[in-house]
Homo-oligomer: A and B are copies of this chain.
Amino acid sequence: MNKYVVKFKPDGKIINVEEGKTIAESADMAGITIDSPCGGKGTCGKCVVIIHADNLEPPSEAEERFLTEDELKEGYRLACQTHVTCDMEVTVPQDSRIRSIKILSAGKGREVRLHPNISKIYVELPEQTLERQIADLTNIKEALKPNFTNVTIDLRLLRKLPYILRKSKFKVTLVLDGNEIIGIEPGDTTKKNYGVAIDIGTTTVVSTVVDLNTGSDLAVASALNTQATHGADVVSRINFTIENENGLEELGDRVTQVINQITEYACAEARVDTQNVYEVTVVGNTTMTHLFLKVPVRNLAIMPYVGVFSDPVETNAGRIGLNVNPNANVFVLPNIAGFVGADTVGVILASALNRSETIKLAIDIGTNGEDF
């Protein structure tokens, strides 16, 4: 396969690209996000770029529809339509880029009684003796009584248990998710107990780091949802997963990457070690939460438009590639229907709409709120 040099201006980024890739794909490789509301179908005409090259392919039908003859002569092309056929210099105008968008990431709060599912308990265990010859896990369970009963533990953690206990002279902090032990840390680390709240928007993703001991928001960070490369709205994203064998995988990976970036950023700002994040709650519209979990979305776009789940989904961070404590609980809020998502459930809970005695209206105008 031939490779050609593509230079992007005014960024000055130069990359080697395989023959046959589109300019849009090449820009993505170079880390430049070109606006592509139609998801690269050539139906919106938004991804205009200016190409200087010796051996350009003739314009596609779509390019002839959106660009004048003069523009085509000057090298104006659509990034999703034109392929790399030789060395090229590509100028990406500001209008064709997805710009950083201000998103409301704070608001008026109300008092919420703190009741996280994560508890950190410091214990100084009595060392076993010939008179008290109990197993290590039993030793821990005895110390947790009567507050925690029927305590369980993950097998991987069980394998490390004897080493951690003896290395820390039986003084450890237990991290419990409900009654499951998800962490054992040497010494007293009860003060380091954090959670992260994620809002996956079709356009923007927001991550907030919360102190689970005090309930304070410590830091917040946001970034564009890079799935946008494959379409601006949820229907384009769903179509991308239908038309591309690895589409679901790719869109899932993209949003996970964004979540990891902004969560690391927010944790750094709050001086929180990501390994001390034990709980992640996630909201988003139904397509976004499905894509995040890599659960197929195709039936959301096909009559009668149903999702795979509407109940909450629980898993752990390690299994889905989130860079926090690998045993951290990941809780995706329930959705109401295919197009009424967990984000709406979040709004209802946060605004206590469900407890209101009078009729109230909550309005969430997002990417897909075209009607407004």
Contact = CB atoms under 8 A, between A and B. Distances in A.
Contacts of A314: 152
B162 A298 contact: yes
Interface string A152-167: 1001001101110000
B133 A311 contact: no
Nearest to A134: B306
Interface residues of A, number: 41
A348 interface: no
Residue of A134, A306, A309, A314 contacting most chain B CB atoms (<10 Å): A306
Interface in A32-90: none
A32 to B, nearest CB: 32
Interface centre among A307, A308, A311 (most CB of B within 10 A): A308
Contacts of A310: 134-135, 137-138
A309 B159 CA distance: 10
A159 B241 CA distance: 13
Contacts of A296: 159, 162-163
B130 A313 contact: no
Please give the count of copies of this chain that the complex contains: 2
Contacts of A320: 155
Contacts of A183: none
Interface in A120-160: 128-130, 132-138, 141, 152, 155, 158-159
A310 B161 CA distance: 13
Contact of A129 (B134, B304, B315): B304
A304 B127 CA distance: 10
A275 interface: no
Interface in A173-232: none
A113 interface: no
A141 B308 CA distance: 12
A136 B309 contact: yes
Given A135-B308, A161-B308, A338-B133, A155 B299 contact: no
Contact of A308 (B158, B299, B309): B158
Given A138-B310, A309-B136, A304 B155 contact: no
Contacts of A295: 155, 158-159
Contacts of A138: 309-311
B308 A137 contact: yes
The 5 closest A-B CB pairs, nearest first, are A135-B310, A137-B309, A135-B307, A130-B304, A136-B308
Given A130-B303, A135-B311, A158-B309, 8 more contacts: A128-B304, A133-B306, A134-B306, A136-B309, A137-B309, A137-B311, A159-B293, A159-B295
